């Protein structure tokens, strides 16, 4: 005799231990997966805490240079350049002009020696 699903009723007592074993294995696997997921979440939280802690640490930055150009006396420039008085003494425009003049003077001195 068969039930609605096509399983013989006489075989049900022999299938019960097999079904119980399958259910136990499925529960064991499910519990293992739940433990892994819990570990992943804990690891993720720890990583996020470390990232947060690192972001709190401020890096030392070079203090903003607050000088004036020795040539034109401007205090704002995209870049400070080396001049006759040393590093960061000329604004960008004056520094480029000074470098060009210094190169021309050097070239003139070299050609005069020959």
Contact indicator for 75, 66 with CB cutoff of 8 Å: yes
The pLDDT tens digits of the residues spanning 47-73 come to 777 666 655 666 677 777 788 999 999
Backbone angles phi, psi at 101, to 5 degrees: -65, -40
CA angle 23, 29, 32 (to 5 degrees): 140
Of how many residues is the chain composed? Answer: 114
- C-alpha 86 chain-centroid distance: 37
The pLDDT tens digits of the residues spanning 5-31 come to 666 666 667 778 888 999 999 999 999
| pLDDT at residue 43 in the model | 85
């Amino acid at each position: 005799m068969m039930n609605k699903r096509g399983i013989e009723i006489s075989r049900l007592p022999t299938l019960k231990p097999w079904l119980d074993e399958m259910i136990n294995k499925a529960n064991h696997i499910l519990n293992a997966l739940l433990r892994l997921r819990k570990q992943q979440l804990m690891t993720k939280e720890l990583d996020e805490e470390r990232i947060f802690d690192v972001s709190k640490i401020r890096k030392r930055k070079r203090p903003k240079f607050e000088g004036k150009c020795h040539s034109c006396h401007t205090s704002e420039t995209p870049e400070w350049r080396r001049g006759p008085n040393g590093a960061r003494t000329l604004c960008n425009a004056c520094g480029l002009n000074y470098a060009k003049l210094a190169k021309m003077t050097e070239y003139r001195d070299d050609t005069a020696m020959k």
